[in-house]
């Protein structure tokens, strides 16, 4: 190959390449989903994916991701180093081809399949196309190779040798293009860190270092020899496991790798997460189905054979055997098919049987070999089943109408007159007194008010039937009208904005968290589809003479103070109750002036863990979270 630093001359092929990259710049959304911060993050994931592929092929075990003060990203691995020879089809170096030809990745190498894969798996050329500049450094065969692109992927000069080395590996450095990412060029520290940690959990033995020079502390290092087994321990760390080990199984069939790790805790909610090729399959799919089927089957068999479940007793249901179960299912598939609304449901039908047999056989063996853990697990499922049957009987006896059938609206609800859900809003208001102000201050045309008394039930700590007996919760279900859980029917939802309005103090934050937990667990669709909001009452009123301003943040307070000059009168609002109905309307409820924060489930898994932490028995992490996040969060991801 040629190592000469020839300057770049453009040919007909080059023009085609530039047109390809131009297409990416014209429609970035098609390649990275959007040009919001989420799309920006994709740039990192595309490059990291290539390093992960190299690691999964067995050639690398260390990846470093660095974000410097100017949001320049560097990704480095200790793999073989990207190929540097001249590529047959393009006549350019392979490095140049990888970074300028769309989907070039697949056309190389041949054998090893790519197991990782970002949402779109579009590769390095897309990152190049969307960067102000991008540099590639390869350590290979004793030499250091270097190439730089500018202005959306234009080669500055050919790949050249810039030194010697005794290492091997690849390094990519880039600056996202501000003309593409017009919203923000700043990567979210927490999102990047959490995802890198997740990737480390999902790929045992790969060390991932994260250095964020914008953040203090700046260095994080993740290496999990136990992989998803450690992941389950991590998720369960704020819960109380009821048997000592995490049960871990792995296997491979037809080139499809399967790993499952589970552990039961003393709670009631299942926490089951599934992945295909390191992507969180939020909507489940065939791997999850295979897992559920064999879990139910094996536990029933064991319960019967051990005599815990009598011959004439009803079989344990899926929900019984999943009560309090934390589980991770991770498959690696050479040709995954994704379905569902958000394309996060695994569709490959052969996977069902493979997961079911790999997991089933090994779970069965585990239960045989660990009779004391087996007994604890079976007993828990049997108790869950009895509780379920008892609740059902009680319901039948009292002939109480189910939550769904309740026809009359709750008495405390001050409904709006509009019957058009699209226009209607409901405020869930902490406390009767604030509820009273809200009722008087509202626009009754389209705003309904439901006051909630003090404590909302902590749904993490109660079985479903207890939850449906809770008055506050029943009121909400009836008011919303859409049902809940799997049977939710959004077309029956009576309000398209459900607005949580609590005091701007720690108690308010707590009640808000309880409500969000409730929504997340029982009305997840409402969160996913963006119907849940948080009202933002002001923190201060600043007045001078006949001028009045409301400040929603400390920063705003400072600005208003300066604008109004000396001798202002500042009132701090501790609770909603301190505002009269007009003030509440002006500051918090009037659609023309209020600020609402939309609640999103960016990362359901992270959310679950935050809830567990907030709801768990450990006080310290909860206190820290609440003090750090209580009031001023702008984009609240539950």
What is the binding site for ligand 1YM (CB under 6 A)? 47, 50-51, 54, 75-77, 79-80, 82-83, 94, 98, 104-105, 108-109, 112, 170-172
212 vs 585: CA distance, rounded Å: 43
Q: Give whichever of 80 and 343 is closer to ligand 1YM, judged by the CB atom.
A: 80
Q: Closest approach of Cβ 140 to ligand 1YM, in Å? A: 9
CA distance 403 to 414: 19
Distance (Å, whole) CA 627 – CA 239: 22
Is 99 or 518 the residue whose CB approaches ligand 1YM more closely?
99
For the chain, the residue count is: 638
| Residue nearer to ligand 1YM on the CB measure, 76 or 259 | 76
Residue 311 buriedness (CB in 10 A; 0-12 / 13-18 / 19+): exposed
* Whole-number Å distance between alpha carbons of 185 and 31: 18
Q: Which residue is nearest to ligand 1YM (CB)?
A: 109
Strand partners, 327: 262, 272
The minimum distance between CB 63 and ligand 1YM, in angstroms, equals 8
Half-sphere exposure of 433 (CA within 13 A, CB side): 7
| Paired tokens of 613 | 């932490």
Minimal distance, residue 144 CB to ligand 1YM, in Å = 14
Q: Which of 595, 632, 587 is nearest to 438 (CA)?
A: 587
Least distance to ligand 1YM, CB of residue 123, Å: 8
Q: Would you name the residues annotated as active-site residues?
A: 430, 503, 505, 507
Residue 71 burial (10 A CB sphere; 0-12, 13-18, 19+) = middle
What's the closest the beta carbon of residue 231 comes to ligand 1YM, in angstroms? 24
Nearer to ligand 1YM, 108 or 422 (CB): 108
Q: Which is nearer to ligand 1YM, 1 or 397 (CB)?
A: 1
Whole-angstrom distance, CA of residue 515 vs CA of residue 427? 12
Q: Kindly tell me which of 75 and 355 has the beta carbon lying closer to ligand 1YM.
A: 75
Which residue carries 């996040």 as its tokens? 629
CB-CB contact of 296 with 321 (8 Å) = yes
If the CB atoms of residues 77 and 289 are measured against ligand 1YM, the closer one turns out to be: 77
Smaller CB distance to ligand 1YM: residue 51 or 294?
51
Q: Select 76 or 230, whichever has its Cβ closest to ligand 1YM.
A: 76
Strands, E, within 56-126: which ranges? 62-67, 72-77
Q: Yes or no: say if 234 and 263 are a contact pair by the CB < 8 Å rule.
A: no
Rounded CA-CA distance 137/6 in Å is 17
CA–CA gap between residue 253 and residue 235 (Å, rounded): 28
In the complex, minimum distance from the CB of residue 55 to ligand 1YM, in angstroms, rounded to a whole number? 9
Least distance (Å) between residue 74 CB and ligand 1YM: 8
**Measured from the CB atom, is 174 or 201 closer to ligand 1YM?**
174
Tokens of 131: 């960067």
Report in angstroms how near the CB of residue 189 gets to ligand 1YM at its nearest: 20
**Are 323 and 380 spatial neighbours (Cβ–Cβ below 8 Å)?**
yes
Task: State the nearest-atom distance from the C-beta of 516 to ligand 1YM, in Å.
Answer: 38
Contact 583, 440 (CB under 8 A): no
Is 457 within 8 Å of 521 (Cβ atoms)? no
Contact (CB, 8 A) for 266 and 323: no
Q: Shortest distance, CB of residue 78 to ligand 1YM, whole angstroms? A: 9
Question: 3-class DSSP state for residue 596?
Answer: strand
| Environment class of 548 (CB within 10 Å of its CB; exposed 0-12, middle 13-18, buried 19+) | middle
The phi and psi torsions of 491 (rounded to 5 degrees) equal: -65, -15
Of 83 and 577, nearer to ligand 1YM (C-beta) is: 83
Q: Smallest distance from the beta carbon of 252 to ligand 1YM, in angstroms?
A: 20
Specify whether the CB–CB gap between 571 and 632 falls below 8 A: no
* Number of C-beta neighbours around residue 55 at 10 A: 24
The tally of CA atoms less than 13 A away on the side-chain side of residue 270 is: 17
Peptide bond into 432 cis (omega under 30): no
442 vs 415: CA distance, rounded Å: 11
Phi and psi angles of residue 145, each rounded to the nearest 5 degrees, phi first = -105, 150
CB atoms within 10 A of CB 247: 21
- Token pair for residue 81? 């180093």
Question: Helix H segments across 27-179?
Answer: 28-32, 37-56, 94-100, 124-129
């Amino acid at each position: 190959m040629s190592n000469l630093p020839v300057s770049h001359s453009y040919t007909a092929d080059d023009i085609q390449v530039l047109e390809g990259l131009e297409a990416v710049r014209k429609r970035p959304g098609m390649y990275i989903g959007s040009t919001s911060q989420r799309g920006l993050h994709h740039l990192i994931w595309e490059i990291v994916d290539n390093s992960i592929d190299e690691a999964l092929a067995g050639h690398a075990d260390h990846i470093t991701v660095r974000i410097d003060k100017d949001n320049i990203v560097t990704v480095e691995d200790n793999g073989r180093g990207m190929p540097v020879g001249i590529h047959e089809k393009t006549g350019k170096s392979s490095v140049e081809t990888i970074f300028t030809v769309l989907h070039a990745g697949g056309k190389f190498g041949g054998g090893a399949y790519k197991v990782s894969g970002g949402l779109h798996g579009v590769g390095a050329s897309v990152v190049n196309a969307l960067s102000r500049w991008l540099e590639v450094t390869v350590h290979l065969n004793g030499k250091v190779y270097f190439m730089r692109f500018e202005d959306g992927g234009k080669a500055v000069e050919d790949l050249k040798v810039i030194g010697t080395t005794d290492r091997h590996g690849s390094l990519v450095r880039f600056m996202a293009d501000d003309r593409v990412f017009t919203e923000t060029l700043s990567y979210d520290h927490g999102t990047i860190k959490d995802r890198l940690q997740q990737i480390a959990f999902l790929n045992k033995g790969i060390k991932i270092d994260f250095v964020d020079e914008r953040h203090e502390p700046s260095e994080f290092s993740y290496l999990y020899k136990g992989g998803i087994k450690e992941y389950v321990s991590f998720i369960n760390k704020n819960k109380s496991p009821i048997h000592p080990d995490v049960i871990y199984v792995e296997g491979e069939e037809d080139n499809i790798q399967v790993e499952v790790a589970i552990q039961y805790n003393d709670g009631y909610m299942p926490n089951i997460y599934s992945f295909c090729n390191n992507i969180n399959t939020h909507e489940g799919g065939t791997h999850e189905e295979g897992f559920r089927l064999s879990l139910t089957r094996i536990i029933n068999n064991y319960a019967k054979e051990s005599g815990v479940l009598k011959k004439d007793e009803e079989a344990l249901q899926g929900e019984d055997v999943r009560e309090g179960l934390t589980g991770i299912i991770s498959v690696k598939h050479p040709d995954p098919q994704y379905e569902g609304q958000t394309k996060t449901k695994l569709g490959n039908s052969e996977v069902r049987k493979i997961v079911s047999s790999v997991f089933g056989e090994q779970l069965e063996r585990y239960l045989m070999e660990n009779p004391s853990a087996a007994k604890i697990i079976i007993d828990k499922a049997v108790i869950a089943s009895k509780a379920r049957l008892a609740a059902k009987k009680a319901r039948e006896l009292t002939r109480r109408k189910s939550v769904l059938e309740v026809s009359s609206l709750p008495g405390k609800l001050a409904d709006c007159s509009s019957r058009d859900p699209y226009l209607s809003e409901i405020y869930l208001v902490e406390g009767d007194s604030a509820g009273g102000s809200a009722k008087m201050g509202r626009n009754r045309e389209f705003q309904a008010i439901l006051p909630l008394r003090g404590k909302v039930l902590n749904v993490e700590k109660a079985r479903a039937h207890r939850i449906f007996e809770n008055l506050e919760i029943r009121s909400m279900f009836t008011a919303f009208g859409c049902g809940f859980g799997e049977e939710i029917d959004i077309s029956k939802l009576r309000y398209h904005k459900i607005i949580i309005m609590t005091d701007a103090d720690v108690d308010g934050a707590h009640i808000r968290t309880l409500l969000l937990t409730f929504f997340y667990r029982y009305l997840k669709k409402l969160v996913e589809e963006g119907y849940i909001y948080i009202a933002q009452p002001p923190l201060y009123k600043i007045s001078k003479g006949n001028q009045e301003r409301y400040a929603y943040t400390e920063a705003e307070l400072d600005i208003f103070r300066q604008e109004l000059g000396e001798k202002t009168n500042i009132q701090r609002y501790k609770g909603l109750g301190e505002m009269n109905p007009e003030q509440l309307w002006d500051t918090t409820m009037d659609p023309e002036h209020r600020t609402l924060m939309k609640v999103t489930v960016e990362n359901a898994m992270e959310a679950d863990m935050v809830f567990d932490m907030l709801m768990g028995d450990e006080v310290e992490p909860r206190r820290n979270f609440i003090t750090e996040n209580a009031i001023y969060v702008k984009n609240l991801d539950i």
